Amino acid sequence: MKNILFYFSITVLCFNCKEQEQVTTIPTSDEVIKLTEKVANWQIETFEEQGRYRALPSPENRKKWNNRNKHHELDWTNGALYAGMFQLSEVSRYPKYVNWLIELGDRNNWQLHKRMYHADDHTVGQFYLNLHQNNRLKHIASIKPTKARFDSIINSDKGKEYQWDWCDALFMAPPVWAKLAKVTKDSTYLEYMDTQYHMTYDELWDNEAQLFYRDNSYFDKKETNGEKIFWSRGNGWVFGGLALLIPDLPKDWEGRAFYENTFKQIAQTLKRTQREDGTWSAGLLGDVKDYPNVETSGTSFFTFGIVWGINNGLLDKKTYEPILLKAWSALEKCVNEEGMLGYVQPIGAEPGESFKDYTEVYGTGAFLAAGSELYKYIKRFYPIDKTTDHITFMEDGGWCWYQDPRAIISNEKLIIAGLSGQSGDVRLGVFDLKSEQQDSTLVLHKNLQVDDHDVPALYKRPDGSVLAMWAKHANEKVHYYTISDSNNYLKWDNPKKFQHEYDSKKGVTYMNLYYVENEGKLYNFFRDGLNFNPTFMTSSDHGETWGNRTHFISNDVEGFQRPYVRYLQVDENTIGVSYTDAHPRAFGNNLYYVEYTNNAFYNVDGTKIKTLDEGPLRSSEAEKLYSGSDTKEKPIINESVPNSAWTCATAKDENNNPHIGYTLYLDDSDHRYRVTSWDGEKWNDREIAYAGKYLYKAESSYTGLFAFDPEDPTNVYISTDVNPSTGEDLGENHEIYSAKIRANDDISTITWKPITENSAHRNIRPIVVANGGYKVLLWLYGPWHHYEDYDSNVIGVILEKPE
């Protein structure tokens, strides 16, 4: 699908005491994120030589701190940069931003800067605490030094004195105190912050102007036009700081209203003081002719605060959107070709000059925060629709990849299991392949849970009816299931429940339905809540009733580990099993394969390993197909263990030889796709494509995945956001590619053909379904952020139809 760029023309007011009509263009979310990343990339690349680009006042106005040295990495200047970089890391697809922050924190041992009481030296604690709030990063981002410093302050006599006697401090320290209170669930830190904040407010707030003086030395100073002097960046520190602070205040806390009201009052002043060029003067109430240059640090903080305020319901969209768009348009013009943000006022304490070709790291931080929040704004209020040139088989559906089959073809109907990312409904789509029209989308279980792990597995029963079976993601000891009418897939029984009994609070997940003919049993292979190991239960009546719960594979890696499994119906009596040692987050996985038949485990060449009566298969007892790093060790920036395999696709050829597809994690930005195929005598293992970047940080092993054609596994379909043959970053969303891969092919000989191009959203998790002369390629398309936050449709291509 071609990316649809769209523009909206709106009327804005120019604040020069009379209304003028001006057309402002709303940028696309893609334009905003790319510019924001460009600025971030430039800053990271030049970080060690930042002194070369530092804005300095004219020689006659320089102080001792106006120099060409690099700022200390724990200095407040960099602390503001890190705050903006973290905001970007929350919305960018690129891992470099969060990984850069992790490296900085680790390099500095997660310490605050040297002065115990000074708010400036607390600023870096913001990004420490932000990283620590990510469950996967708690063990990396230590908050102990920050907590120890703040505990010492609270328990000292000096700490009880007035600390924050300049308005900049309201950005530097209060968000750290509030977030520490939230993370530790200790209101002592919130109470301290509130007391100190009110001291500053009581001294420096001007109720008439609804602005903060920089400090008490400005009470009697005037602009040349007679107005009071209110420094733009000083108030930007406060306004941006409030946007960082307020989200961490308890919603039911009576003190919260004070901060929200202060924020809204400053916004009202900003509304009436914005210049015609979209910026704010370094002296907010001064005459524009006294401030001929634009100033981007204050403007960036104001832009960040305004867009955050609209996004969070504190500011009226209709009123403030014109202001926001004018400000962003002005900031765009201040970014040069290399990505440097110019016109940042040098370090100081009052309104001053700025220079086109010089910057400062705090200005970059404010810009990154503004761009990141604007990206959220456009995605929310002006989303790109999911219109596509491909067939939409089912709307509002998503799936994980450890449940199978997720789609089947029966009686010329494509039946698709899905889980709504909006409501948490368990959904079932029925698509008529002959007419190429949707029949309907059904809800099998309303409001189960927004989690793509909960998607059902499907099984066609001998009478033509279909069984659907699902469960919550490891937080309920229940399997749900229902059976359709034999002739009408729009009619289903009321769901039944199978209640598991075992001594653990963790629940079951991942359903896989396969029938074994010589046993007359339908197997449901799933992950158990008792030990997180592969387990099965069986049904002798094609899913009407269930029992015989059995531990199937046991982990060998020390600790509470979870082998991940993909299953394959090799023949009517044999189940192929491809699995790992553990989660790639915990271990550098090897990849194994075993076949299960007649209650016993066999290697692919038919040699027997053991019977199930002897106990579950230990993960290392099967044949190893790929040797990973075989360790728990990983670099500080890696969420997963390098050289870690993860099984993702299985198929068999016409001779029932298994083909196993898997991903390989090298680092957050570099995943690979690999295939290993049994030719009757040996395994043929090779790399077939670059898989690109992770889908998101917390699950850094997640890729777009790939699928085999179930009737001919030499036909392969992949999802990647890079050039699949070279790894070149294309700067776009994940696209779907296809290729013919024969036994002697590897990444150097394979030619990948795009099925999608220039897509507005990610195309991920393809599967191929075939039956009755039909063959269909399906995948997920739409906004997809993580397994509990997505809005995808199931789209695709009918590859083959009967003559």
Q: Which residues contact 646 (CB under 8 A, 6 or more apart)?
A: 564, 580, 584, 589, 662, 663, 664, 665, 701
CA distance 426 to 397: 9
Which of 69, 68, 134 is closest to 101 using CA atoms?
A: 134
Find where tokens 């705050």 sit: 83
DSSP 280-343: --SBTTS-GGG--S--HHHHHHHHHHHHHHHHTTSS-HHHHHHHHHHHHHHHHTTB-TTS-B--
CA distance 354 to 347: 10
Query: Which three-class secondary structure state does DSSP give residue 43?
Result: helix
Q: Do 425 and 447 contact (CB within 8 A), yes or no?
A: yes
Q: What is the pLDDT of residues 238-278, one digit of tens each?
A: 999 999 999 999 999 999 999 999 999 999 999 999 999 99
Which of 106, 110, 88, 105 is closest to 97 using CA atoms?
A: 88
CA distance 767 to 718: 9
What is the distance of C-alpha 799 from the center of its chain?
A: 32
- What pLDDT, on the 0 to 100 scale, is given for residue 24? 67
Q: Do 507 and 440 contact (CB within 8 A), yes or no?
A: no
Determine the straight-line distance between the first and last CA of the chain, rounded to whole angstroms: 28
Where residue 538 falls among pLDDT bands split at 50, 70, 90? Answer: very high
CA distance 652 to 649: 11
**pLDDT above 80 (res 11):** no
Residues paired with residue 392 on neighbouring β-strands, in sequence order: 795
Which of 354, 353, 259, 254 is closest to 305 using CA atoms?
A: 259
**pLDDT above 90 (res 2):** no
Where residue 9 falls among pLDDT bands split at 50, 70, 90? Answer: very low
161 exposure class (CB count in 10 Å sphere: 0-12, 13-18, 19+): exposed
Q: What is the pLDDT of residues 709-730, one digit of tens each?
A: 999 999 999 999 999 999 999 9
Share of the chain above pLDDT 90, in %: 94
**pLDDT above 80 (res 8):** no
Least confident of 61-65, 630-634, 792-796: 61-65
CA distance 783 to 762: 7
Where residue 406 falls among pLDDT bands split at 50, 70, 90? Answer: very high
**pLDDT above 60 (res 474):** yes
Q: Do 473 and 456 contact (CB within 8 A), yes or no?
A: no
Q: How many CA atoms lie within 13 A of 752 on its CB side?
A: 27
Q: What is the 3-state secondary structure (H, E, C) of 415-444?
A: EEEEECCCCCCEEEEEEECCCCEEEEEEEE
Q: What is the pLDDT of residues 49-71, one digit of tens each?
A: 999 999 999 988 888 888 889 99
- What pLDDT, on the 0 to 100 scale, is given for residue 7? 35
Q: What is the pLDDT of residues 507-519, one digit of tens each?
A: 999 999 999 999 9
CA distance 482 to 468: 6
Q: What is the pLDDT of residues 421-448, one digit of tens each?
A: 999 999 999 999 999 999 999 999 999 9
**pLDDT above 50 (res 13):** no
CA distance 403 to 410: 19
**From the CB of residue 123, how many other CB atoms can be counted at a distance below 10 Å?**
30
Mean pLDDT, the chain, integer: 95
**pLDDT above 90 (res 492):** yes
CA distance 486 to 388: 33
Q: Which residues contact 669 (CB under 8 A, 6 or more apart)?
A: 94, 95, 96, 692, 693, 694
Question: Which two three-digit tokens encode residue 589?
Answer: 């996985």
The average pLDDT across 675-698 equals 97
Share of the chain above pLDDT 70, in %: 97
Query: Which three-class secondary structure state does DSSP give residue 586?
Result: coil
The average pLDDT across 135-143 equals 91
CA distance 756 to 770: 21
CA distance 46 to 100: 13
Which of 493, 500, 446 is closest to 475 using CA atoms?
A: 500
Which of 391, 381, 401, 387 is closest to 429 using CA atoms?
A: 391
CA distance 64 to 112: 23
With b for 16 or more beta-carbon neighbours within 10 A and e for fewer, the 280-318 pattern comes to: bbbbbbbeeeebebbbbbbbbbbbbbbbbbbbeebbeee
CA distance 678 to 625: 10
| Residue type for position 294 | V
The average pLDDT across 137-142 equals 92
Biggest CA–CA distance in the chain, Å, is 95
| Residue type for position 584 | P
Query: Which three-class secondary structure state does DSSP give residue 198?
Result: helix
| Residue type for position 421 | G
Q: Are strands 774-782 and 793-800 parallel, antiparallel or unpaired?
A: antiparallel
Residues paired with residue 709 on neighbouring β-strands, in sequence order: 712
- What pLDDT, on the 0 to 100 scale, is given for residue 803? 86
Find where tokens 């001294």 sit: 203
Q: What is the pLDDT of residues 542-597, one digit of tens each?
A: 999 999 999 999 999 998 899 999 999 999 999 999 999 999 999 999 999 999 99
CA distances in angstroms from 187 to 141, 181, 263, listed in the order given: 22, 5, 22
Q: What is the pLDDT of residues 275-310, one digit of tens each?
A: 999 999 999 999 999 999 999 999 999 999 999 999
Q: How many CA atoms lie within 13 A of 192 on its CB side?
A: 27
| Annotated catalytic residue within 75, 121, 168, 451 | 168
Find where tokens 């990154």 sit: 368
**pLDDT above 70 (res 104):** yes
Which of 170, 183, 173 is closest to 250 using CA atoms?
A: 183
The average pLDDT across 338-353 equals 96
Q: Do 404 and 390 contact (CB within 8 A), yes or no?
A: no
| Residue type for position 790 | Y
Q: Report residue 224: phi and psi, to 5°.
A: -65, -20
Query: Which three-class secondary structure state does DSSP give residue 242?
Result: helix
Q: Do 561 and 581 contact (CB within 8 A), yes or no?
A: yes
Q: Is the peptide bond before 405 cis (omega within 30 degrees of 0)?
A: yes
Question: Which two three-digit tokens encode residue 390?
Answer: 């491909």
Q: What is the 3-state secondary structure (H, E, C) of 596-636?
A: EECCEEECCCCCEEEEHHHCCEEHHHCEEEECCCCCCCCCC
- What pLDDT, on the 0 to 100 scale, is given for residue 381? 97
- What pLDDT, on the 0 to 100 scale, is given for residue 521? 98
The average pLDDT across 684-699 equals 96
CA distance 776 to 662: 22
168 has catalytic annotation: yes
